[in-house]
Structure 1
Amino acid sequence: MKLNTLRWKLLKSYIYSGLFSSILVFLCLQAWYVFNPGSSELSISILVPLLTAFFVIITGGYFGYKDTQSIKDRLEDISTYIKVLSRGKLSERIEINEEDELGNIMKDLNQLAEKIKKQVSSLQTLADQKAQLAEKARGAAIIAERQRLARDLHDAVSQQLFALNMLSSAAIRLVDRDVETAKEQIKEVAEIASKAQAEMRALLLHLRPIHLSDDTLCSGVTKLAEELAKKSGVTFINELEEIPGLSKGIEENLFRVIQEGIGNALRHADATTIKIALYEKNDRVHLQIRDNGKGFDISNEKKGSYGLGTMQERCNEVGGEMTITSKENEGTFLDIRIPIK
């Protein structure tokens, strides 16, 4: 029988309680006989159970509280540690002071945290390998990308330019004969031009390289924002922190998520200001993208239409978490957290 189990500890508590109660009752009876030598049997028969009950309650309460408080404190430590792990702090370990059932649970939790940490590291290694393979395949992908861009330009922009030409020509012919109709057509011209501008803003992102080359993540994002600010007129607010030791896979995936997030804001949100924040806190990389656009109802939109599925996949590849918050007419907020230690 193991003597370091919870069952044995509680059993010892009962034994100690009974032992101390018996000793105290015995001492009290001896004192009673000394000071009251002529006591009757009736008084003794009443005194013994009263003393026994009193001392059992006192000693039992003391030892019970002492042992259960220790168990309660250790259970709270386990609960706190589980919350720490759920926040992504996989390097933390819980201290094991006793080798009992709770100690075994703590040991299992430490082993589980180590396994999860290794799995996250493996995911990030796979992401690095994927980035290397993608670099090797980039040459072949350039041709396919050009063909896709040509289709996008034809489908999204050239047709709108054709409509602009037709409507503007008709408006010129009508301006002298039917001013009101000409005004309506000019309004349509303005709307189509605005849509074409939004499409071109989004295509600007895809005309850029999809990799960082020799740039750091902060440098690549800064260059991207500066170029798009000049070409699109959107104001970018960058709060970027250089994070040393980021793997190539994490940098590539974060950069592509940023491209996708900015593309959504330009194409769908009609945003005029986009804020990008990148920093490290509590052994995690935090990426946040916020715009002041028209927003959307997440529950009513298909993820694919806004590229959310692609961003979620890239986040999962490096063991991260993604949260997106958006309301109509209140803008959109994207928050990504990736463990790095």
Structure 2
Amino acid sequence: MEKAKFSSVRYIFISSHLYGLFLTIVTILSILLTIHALFSPEWLTVRSIFLFMALYTIIAAIISLYTGFKSSSTMKQRLDAMSVLIAQYANGNYETKIHFMENDELSRIANELNELGTKLQNQVKSLQRMADEKSDLAKSAHKAAVIEERQRIARDLHDAVSQQLFALTMMAEAATKQFDKKPALAKKQIEDVSIAALQAQTEMRALLLHLRPVHLSGDTLKEGVEKLVVELEMKSPINFKLTIADELSLNDTIEEHVFRIIQESLSNILRHANATEVDLTITKRAKELFLHIRDNGQGFDVTKDSTRKTSYGLKTMRERSEELGGTFVVRSNQDEGTYIDIRIPC
């Protein structure tokens, strides 16, 4: 922190003034001592030389500090403004602009940054226009998508729920055979049956999320999400905390993408997180939509490959966010839950 502070523009200006002061002092002192050594004038004594240099050093140091501080203020303000502008671009706010009255290099860089923001904003509009066109094409190919989704869910049912039900059958038969001879063992096997049944039930609920309509069927995003959460609260032990702005003015494409992102996220939570609490927040500030999803589940290491299905779900959510020109950030650690933050220009 201290190292960064003393490498700032302001301290660079001050240090340059002090360095110039040092060179001036050395030069003047060398001239006065040379005159004293060669000519030895009565008015120029060693004592007067060092008294003059001491007074000059003190006064010049104060002036150097003051002028260095003042002259760097304008430069620092302009650099800070450019830094804030770049941060705004990184957050997806491409409408921000800065203007400097001076006609110098920094003004030229500021103008180039403004042009970059305009180009990025146009690219976002192009992405959203492409998303609208893609949505129209998706509706025209709805039948093919439904068939593909059914095939995928059939595979998941076979790979997960069907195998779990088969294991339940085998464990139940084994417990029945041991019920009279070894009741303690039979009790343990029945407990395993209960755990496996709960896992199969959770897996089935997650798969049922994907059987919901792809479109909101005339509902607003808020209405669709509220219905989805009410349904899940009735069928799962998870406690949901839902915060959605009352008035969200969004086009159909953004609403459908965001709704599918929420569906995919909740499906991942049901299948993999073992969470008991989920916070879901949707807000809109200025011209950006913010989506925050948090659970208190078991989490995972985002730096390593997670399970195949979890990775697929996160990849799908990221692709949907980027199709709208948005940003997707996921944060998670083992036993610390998972946080998903999405920002979409709108």
Tell me the TM-score normalised to structure 2 length.
Answer: 0.75
Question: Partner residue of 1:12?
Answer: none
Q: 2:90 is matched with which residue?
A: 86
Whether 1:319 and 2:325 are equivalent positions in the alignment is yes
Q: Secondary structure at the match of 2:303?
A: helix
Hey, what's the Cα distance between the residues in 1 that align with 2:269 and 2:164? 21
Extract unaligned runs of 5+ from structure 2.
Answer: 1-41, 44-51
Distance 2:295 2:167 in 1: 30
Counterpart check, 1:284 vs 2:291: no
**Partners of 1:181 and 1:66 in 2: how far apart?**
83
Report the counterpart of residue 226 of structure 2 in structure 1. Answer: 222
Deviation at 1:243, TM superposition (A): 4.7
How far is the alpha carbon of 1:63 from its aligned partner? 8.2
Give 1:338's aligned residue.
344
2:208 aligned residue: 204
Q: Does 1:165 align with 2:174?
A: no
Partner of 1:122: 126
- Determine the C-alpha separation between the residues in 1 that align with 2:289 and 2:306: 27
1:71 and 2:75 matched: yes
- Residue 83 of structure 1 and its aligned partner are, at CA, apart by 2.5
CA distance in 2, matches of 1:312, 1:182: 46
CA distance in 2, matches of 1:192, 1:66: 72
Aligned partner (choices 153, 158, 165) of residue 154 of structure 1: 158
In the TM superposition, residue 285 of structure 1 has moved relative to its aligned partner by: 1.0
- Name the structure 2 match of 1:176: 180
Aligned-partner Cα distance in 2 for 1:329–1:75: 42
SS in 2 for 1:300: coil
SS at match of 1:298: coil
RMSD of aligned alpha carbons: 3.0
Q: Distance in 1 between matches of 2:93 and 2:119?
A: 13
Greater CA radius of gyration, 1 or 2?
A: 1
Q: CA deviation at 1:123?
A: 1.1
Aligned counterparts of 1:264 and 1:209: Cα–Cα separation in 2 = 18
Question: What residue identity is the alignment partner of 2:147?
Answer: I
Q: Report the residue type matching 1:308 in the other structure.
A: L
Picking from 100, 103, 106, the partner of 2:104 is 100
Please give the secondary structure, in 2, of the residue aligned with 1:207: coil
Of the structure 1 ranges 120-129 and 77-86, higher mean CA displacement relative to structure 2 is found in 77-86
C-alpha deviation, 1:227, in angstroms? 1.5
- Of 104, 114, 118 in structure 2, the residue corresponding to residue 110 of structure 1 is 114
CA shift in 2, pair 1:68/1:241, >3 Å: closer
Report SS of the residue matched to 1:274: strand
Q: 1:64 to 1:241 in 2, by over 3 A?
A: closer
Q: Which residue is equivalent to 2:335?
A: 329
Q: CA deviation at 1:113?
A: 0.8
For residue 260 of structure 1, report the CA deviation from its aligned partner: 0.9
Q: Which runs of 5+ in 1 are unaligned?
A: 1-41, 44-49
Contact 2:248 2:284 in 1 (8 A): no
Post-superposition offset of 1:282: 4.2
Letter of the structure 2 residue corresponding to residue 220 of structure 1: G
Cα deviation code 1:147-186 (max 9, x no counterpart): 3323322332222222222321232222111223312321
In 2, the alpha carbon distance for the partners of 1:109 and 1:166 equals: 67
Q: Distance in 2 between matches of 1:80 and 1:158?
A: 55
Which residue in the other structure is 1:261 paired with?
265
Is the Cα contact below 8 Å between 1:174 and 1:181 reproduced in 2? yes
Q: Which amino acid aligns with 2:190?
A: I
Amino acid across the alignment from 1:155: D
For 1:72 and 1:234, locate their aligned partners in 2 and report how far apart those are by CA, in whole Å. 51
Q: Which amino acid aligns with 2:123?
A: Q
Deviates more, 1:220-229 or 1:181-190: 181-190
Deviation at 1:199, TM superposition (A): 0.9
Matched with 1:301 is 305
CA contact (8 A) 1:276 1:288 kept: yes
> Partner letter of residue 260 of structure 2?
R
Name 2:12's counterpart in structure 1.
none
Cα distance in 2 for partners of 1:74, 1:179 equals 80
Give the Cα separation in 1 of the matches to 2:68 and 2:233. 69
Which secondary structure does the structure 2 equivalent of 1:299 belong to? coil
Is the 1:78–1:106 Cα contact (8 Å) retained in structure 2?
Answer: yes
Aligned residues: 295
Alpha-carbon distance between aligned partners in 1 of 2:297 and 2:162, rounded to the nearest angstrom? 26
1:35 corresponds to: none
**SS of 1:197 mapped into structure 2:** helix
Provide the TM-score with structure 1 as the length reference: 0.77
Letter in 1 for 2:90: S
**Equivalent of 1:190, from 188, 194, 203?**
194
Paired with 1:136 and 1:251, the residues of 2 have a C-alpha distance of 18
Cα offset, 1:196, TM superposition: 0.6
The answer to whether the Cα contact below 8 Å between 2:240 and 2:278 also exists between their aligned partners in 1 is: yes
